[in-house]
Amino acid sequence: MAVMYAANHMKVRAIVALTESGSTPLWMSRIRSDIPIYAFTRHESTRRRVTLFRGVYPVIFDVTDAKSTGQLYDTLFTRLLELKLVERKDLVILTKGEQSGVQGGTNSLQILEVA
């Protein structure tokens, strides 16, 4: 997967997967890496499922609360910082779908600097 290749060849601190079902973190976990994968999801069943995947850690997060992309990033960074998973200026890779809250729609990869 492109996300794992990019993460392993850049100085990325974490991978964040906005996920409904946990399928994207499952695919990522199949490639060995020391970079943690954080599965941000609003579903309890998905949180339980992803704990079984290598290197994947569930985080409670409701993507449907964000009204804009900017608000999504702000909320995401705030959550990462309050959990002490990253520091300011760290690079993270974000995977998400074009339509928030829709299962099976991951089609975007972004490399972001934590603000």
Q: Where are the domains of the chain?
A: 2-9+24-97
CATH no. of 2-9+24-97: 3.40.1380.20
Per residue in 85-100, pLDDT (tens digit) is: 999 999 999 999 866 6
Return the pLDDT at 4. Answer: 87
Tally of residues, the chain: 115
Q: What is the reported pTM? A: 0.90
pLDDT tens digit sequence for 38-96: 999 999 999 999 999 999 999 999 988 888 889 999 999 999 999 999 999 999 999 99
How distant is the alpha carbon of residue 93 from its chain centre?
7
Maximum CA pair distance of the chain?
Answer: 35
- Annotate 47-68 with three-state secondary structure: HHHHCCCCCEEEEECCHHHCCC
Residues paired with 41 in a beta bridge: 60
Q: Which tokens hold the place of 79? A: 């959550």
pLDDT at 2: 85
